[in-house]
Amino acid sequence: QVRLVESGGGLVQAGGSLRLSCGASGGDFKINAMGWYRQAPGNEREMVAVITGGGSIHYADFVKGRFTISRDKDKNTVYLQMNSLKPEDTAVYYCNGDFRWMGEYWGQGTQVTVSS
């Protein structure tokens, strides 16, 4: 089965940048899709960005032009480059992966805090 581990969160000032990483491990698998979701206190978890196994990318409207999702297939790793961060981006960011024959998995989350 697959294990997802996120890293790269932290505290940053508004207008700053962070780069999140999510590595997948645990065996042989084929990726249907991987992506990033976030959940702020009092809010439901929401999609931020997703990249499919075929390379199609989908962004939430509130991050278009600021965030970029990418992947390194050799490392089984997906990244989220976050620029021009806003206080409303503060949330726990979760890595999600959907894998053929194995199902859907979530990482433990990494905290992103953006100060004014």
Q: What is the helix (H) or strand (E) element at residue 98, kind and residue range?
A: strand 91-100
Tell me what pLDDT residue 29 has: 84
Tell me what pLDDT residue 73 has: 86
Q: What is the pLDDT of residues 41-62, one digit of tens each?
A: 999 999 999 999 999 999 999 9
How many other C-beta atoms are found inside a 10 Å radius of the C-beta of residue 106? 13
Residues with Cβ < 8 Å from 105, sequence gap 6 or more? 1, 2, 3, 4, 24, 96, 97, 99
* Mean per-residue pLDDT, 84-94: 98
Query: 27 or 99: which carries more pLDDT confidence?
Result: 99
Q: Is the pLDDT of residue 27 over 80?
A: no
77: its two tokens:
């790793």
Q: Which amino acid is at 17?
A: S
Which of 70, 67, 87 lies closest to 13, judged by CA? 87
How many other C-beta atoms are found inside a 10 Å radius of the C-beta of residue 43? 9
DSSP codes of every residue in 12-36 = EETT--EEEEEEEESS--EEEEEEE
* Mean per-residue pLDDT, 96-113: 95
* Band of residue 80 on the pLDDT scale cut at 50, 70, 90: very high
Q: Report the half-sphere exposure of 80 (CA within 13 A, side-chain side).
A: 32
Q: Is the pLDDT of residue 87 over 80?
A: yes
Strand 77-82 with 67-72, pairing: antiparallel
